Amino acid sequence: MKLQIRDKIVNLDDELEVNFATEYFFWDEYNRIKNSATNISGKKDLANYYNALQDKYTNGGLEHSRKFIEKPDDFFEWISEDKCFGKSKNFGSKENLIIYICSHAGIENRMNLPILSMPNRIKDLNDRFDVLTINEHPLRFPESQYPSYLVLGCSDTHNTFEKMCNYISTLINKKYKKVVVFGDSKHAAISLSIAHALDDIVTNVFIAHGQTSYDWEESGWIQSYIKYITKRNKIYENTGYLDDKMLNDISGPHIFHILKCYKFKKLNIKNEILSPFKYHKNYKNIDVAYFYNKNDLEYKPFIDWLLKNATGSITFNDIDYDNKVNQHFIKPYLERKIIPDYINKVILNDAN
């Protein structure tokens, strides 16, 4: 299948072309960051990103980034050799468990942020919870593989969803009262898939709004984009007018979502993994709390699809939060205002 994305027509069936396209769109992202770096913190971020990229291009490959990515952490200790799993120190001493799925490393941060990054407010729950973190390794090969949203596992060792989930099961050796999976943004759907795969231990899932399906036929972003492209072509045939608004405005994450989901389609990944919300009715012992911001227009197709297709015990919460800079970035608000209450009132009350 050939699809126009920005100014390029990409043959999605050709892995190599997708790789080139990924690099090309990385370039766009780099220019976007470069042009928007107006304040000191933006310039600092740009400098870090630039240095990482320069190292990459000077030395060839991403190996030099390993020292930043695999930096030891005071809070966690490594469990696996691939450095994708970390557990809090004194793991196993608490009655409840948090499984935290990291989404912090976007395209610009994947080469210079430690893999074990976690918000302090989650770390502060350490007195009541064991904490287990799962990260996708940014140095997977080929580069265009990252991020696979954990659908293709988290590393070259645990390279399928099933292998990854089996490995998580082996890490949890005791009976917890409550096991909560935290996930957000690009991992919104996969967090629930992981919970489903571990349904004998997981009791709750906390999701901050993001990509609710990675299925080519169901993903809000893909369907809205294909609809736009079809309409654009029809208008052009009839009137000669080219409506390029969405072509120009499409965001980096949106593009990478399209490229990845087509790959999942080619690989015949099970729909239960890609669109878990449709199957949640089969998991009655897992409660899902889903938080979204109705002002987040970019991710609106996902919530629209979700409200129509979700099944089972899911509570939807519109937080009505107005972040002028980035409406999608609700995580800090959730950590500040929602998570403490959620932990105390929903999780720990139930547990007691």
Partner 1 sequence: MMPINNIKNESVDNDSTVLRGHRVNFFDDVEVHYMSEFLEWEMFKENPKRKDVHVEKIQGYSNRTYDTNIWDEQIHDCLYTTKNYGDSENLIIVIAEENWLQEERFFVPASVLSHRKNSDILVIKEEIKNNTKPLMHNLILGLNTEYNSFEKLCKLLRENYVKETYSNIVLIAGGEVLPAGLAIAQEFSELIDNVLLYDGITNYSWLDSSHIQMCHNMSIKSEYMFKKTGKYDKSKDLIKTTDDAFLMLKCGYFLRHKINRRITSPIKFIKDHPTQNVEYYFWKDTIHIEWLRKAIYHKSIPNIPMTNIKKDNPPAYFFNNSLPIKLHKILDK
The binding site for partner 1 (CB under 8 A) comprises 7, 16-17, 19-21, 23-24, 26-27, 30, 50, 53-54, 56-61, 141-143
20 versus 236: smaller Cβ distance to partner 1: 20
Asked if residue 63 lies in contact with residue 96, where contact means CB atoms within 8 angstroms, the answer is no
Distance, C-alpha 245 to centroid of its chain: 26
27 versus 236: smaller Cβ distance to partner 1: 27
Encoding tokens for residue 31? 């220019």
Reduced to 3 states (helix: H, G, I; strand: E, B; else coil), residue 327 is coil
Q: Is the peptide bond before 119 cis (omega within 30 degrees of 0)?
A: no
Q: How far is the CB of 147 from partner 1 (least distance, A)?
A: 18
59 versus 344: smaller Cβ distance to partner 1: 59
Cα–Cα nearest to 278, from 305, 257, 298, 299: 305
Other CB atoms closer than 10 Å to residue 154's CB: what's the count? 27
d(CA 342, CA 47) in angstroms, rounded, equals 38
Q: How far is the CB of 24 from partner 1 (least distance, A)?
A: 6
23 versus 318: smaller Cβ distance to partner 1: 23
Q: Is the peptide bond before 72 cis (omega within 30 degrees of 0)?
A: no
Backbone angles phi and psi of 112, in degrees to 5: -135, 5
156 versus 350: smaller Cβ distance to partner 1: 156
Task: Spell out where 90-137 has E strands.
Answer: 96-101, 129-134
Q: How far is the CB of 23 from partner 1 (least distance, A)?
A: 4
d(CA 25, CA 251) in angstroms, rounded, equals 10
Q: How far is the CB of 89 from partner 1 (least distance, A)?
A: 37
24 versus 75: smaller Cβ distance to partner 1: 24
Q: How far is the CB of 76 from partner 1 (least distance, A)?
A: 30
| Helix, strand, coil share of the chain (percent; to 5) | 45, 15, 40
**Cross-strand partners of 95:** none
Q: How far is the CB of 15 from partner 1 (least distance, A)?
A: 9
22 versus 327: smaller Cβ distance to partner 1: 22
Asked if residue 214 lies in contact with residue 151, where contact means CB atoms within 8 angstroms, the answer is yes
Name residue, tokens 């989650």. 122
46 versus 201: smaller Cβ distance to partner 1: 46
Q: How far is the CB of 242 from partner 1 (least distance, A)?
A: 12
d(CA 312, CA 305) in angstroms, rounded, equals 15
Q: How far is the CB of 7 from partner 1 (least distance, A)?
A: 8
Strands across the sheet with 178-185, in order? 76-78, 85-88, 129-134, 96-101, 178-185, 204-210, 287-292, 314-318
Q: How far is the CB of 80 from partner 1 (least distance, A)?
A: 25
Name residue, tokens 């999608």. 328
21 versus 192: smaller Cβ distance to partner 1: 21
